[in-house]
Structure 1
Amino acid sequence: MDVMTTADEHPVKSGGELSRLDAAAALATGDPAAAFDLLPWLGTSIDADAAARRFDAWGLSTVIDENTGTSVVAASVFRALHERAGIDARFPVGNAGLLHVYGYLLSTTPTPYGLKRERWLDGDLARAYGLAADAFLPWAVPTGETLLARVAAAAAALVERTPVRRQRVHDTEAVIAIGRAAASGPSALAYALINGGIQRLITTFPVASPAAVLDEVDAAAPRLRWNAVA
């Protein structure tokens, strides 16, 4: 089996599953059904999350990336994901968990920080949360939990434990949490919105310099960030 070696030399298993993900992502824009066929765990995971109402814990997000101004999830993929999850949505705004977790896996659009799916594959974010490097591999279900369930558990705990900024944006409170359980490497950032007393997750990703992120936040007027939609 092939491995991807990350900065601290801990290998993250890949091999055939990664090749299938690459092939599915290449097919997804033109034929989302074929992408689902290549990745049996994807549809099964979305079905399980929908049945357990896990998408309810997530807010809304646009797939128009704030850094590039382009869509990082194709409209055809957006529609296929929401139809599978049984969620009504109109492109480009949809369920943040569905898009950031599963949609990003099928994204081939480059951003200044690389492909969006790398956060689930390279092990950096998982280790920042104090988890095994392969804890967020989407096809690996060591505890029987879907990727969405694993990500939500980690992100919600971080928001509860270490919120570092709270901002009021009209009727919404935005919460930024940052933490690092690993001895070295990037930190984990989790972002959530609270509206009407209900907190919903938006996203989580690794950050190399928490200080730089917070300096940027503090220098600007409060606004929704990281593709969130109230």
Structure 2
Amino acid sequence: MQTSAPQPPDLAPVLDLIAQDARQNRFSRWGTSTVIDENTGEPVIDRPLFDALHAAAGLDAQYPIGNAGVIHVYGYWFSTALTPYGYKRDRWQNGELAAALGQPETRFHLFSDPTSTPLQRVTAATLPLLRQPPTDAKVAGAQVDGLDTRVVLVAADGITADRLAANGSSICALIYGIRRGEDWQLITTFPLAGDPDVVVADFLADRRLRWNAAPQRDL
């Protein structure tokens, strides 16, 4: 785990990426999230940055609740807030999440592919799995305040009892989303170490919005 706060990227090129996504309406595939971290109770990015990112996306968000794609895929690169699980950008930078999704380790870096945006790459890797989880995934659904929510845990080489027994713990990708209308919207994705059955059991036992999801609203 990184011990010193990460150096944020230059803002202008990131705003350009966000504007590209906005022109293709890619943020509509993501739900709403808060920048208040559920573990620390503190904001992971400040209001001026929140406003700048959402302005580039053409979204009328009201701090601290905004678009999950804007906040998680882009805002987290700027976050210097330390959480119990490290820095928010770690999921995109260290390669564990990408590997669990069967992607090259640098796939979710900001500028790893000049032909696509990070949001485009993350959405392509995760939304199909949220919509139609693979047969070897761990999946749970729960209704929260009238909303259908779903968690999907996957790994590139499958999640099996034998694999867990052999490794003791494993890195898988957690994908979480909320249904809106006839389709699912992404909220977040991150690498998870440990037994996914424990996550599923807790998800079903304690039915609430999770992982910084916020009540849905039009932006």
TM-score by length of 1: 0.80
Select 2:124's aligned residue among 112, 130, 153. Answer: 153
- Residues paired across the two proteins, number: 197
Question: Counterpart in 2 of 1:80?
Answer: 52
Q: 1:196 aligned to 2:184?
A: no
Give the AA of the match of 1:204: T
Q: How does 1:1-230 map to 2 (within 5 A)?
A: 22-24=6-8, 35-37=10-12, 40=13, 42-141=14-113, 144-159=115-130, 160-162=132-134, 164-182=139-157, 185-209=170-194, 210-220=196-206, 222-230=207-215
Give the AA of the match of 2:64: P
Contact kept in structure 1, 2:133 and 2:139, CA below 8 Å = no
Question: Counterpart in 2 of 1:10?
Answer: none
Runs (5+) with no aligned partner, structure 1: 1-20, 26-34
Contact kept in structure 2, 1:61 and 1:96, CA below 8 Å = yes
Q: Which moved more, 1:83-92 or 1:176-185?
A: 176-185
Contact kept in structure 2, 1:137 and 1:147, CA below 8 Å = yes
Distance 1:22 1:116 in 2: 10
Contact kept in structure 2, 1:158 and 1:178, CA below 8 Å = no
After superposition, give the CA deviation of every residue in 1:16-43 in whole Å (9 maximum; x if it has no partner). Answer: xxxxx94436xxxxxxxxx424xx2x12
Distance 2:24 2:118 in 1: 13
C-alpha RMSD of matched pairs (Å): 2.0
SS of 1:67's equivalent? Answer: coil
Per chain length, whose mean CA-contact separation is higher, i.e. which structure has more relative contact order (CA < 8 Å, sep 6+)? Answer: 2
Give the AA of the match of 2:148: E
More helix by share: 1
SS of 2:20's equivalent? Answer: helix
> What percent of counterpart residues are identical?
42
4+ residue runs of structure 1 moved beyond 2 angstroms? 21-25, 182-185, 195-198
Question: Counterpart in 1 of 2:164?
Answer: none
SS of 2:43's equivalent? Answer: coil
Contact kept in structure 2, 1:120 and 1:137, CA below 8 Å = yes
Contact kept in structure 1, 2:141 and 2:204, CA below 8 Å = no
TM-score by length of 2: 0.84
Give the AA of the match of 1:97: G
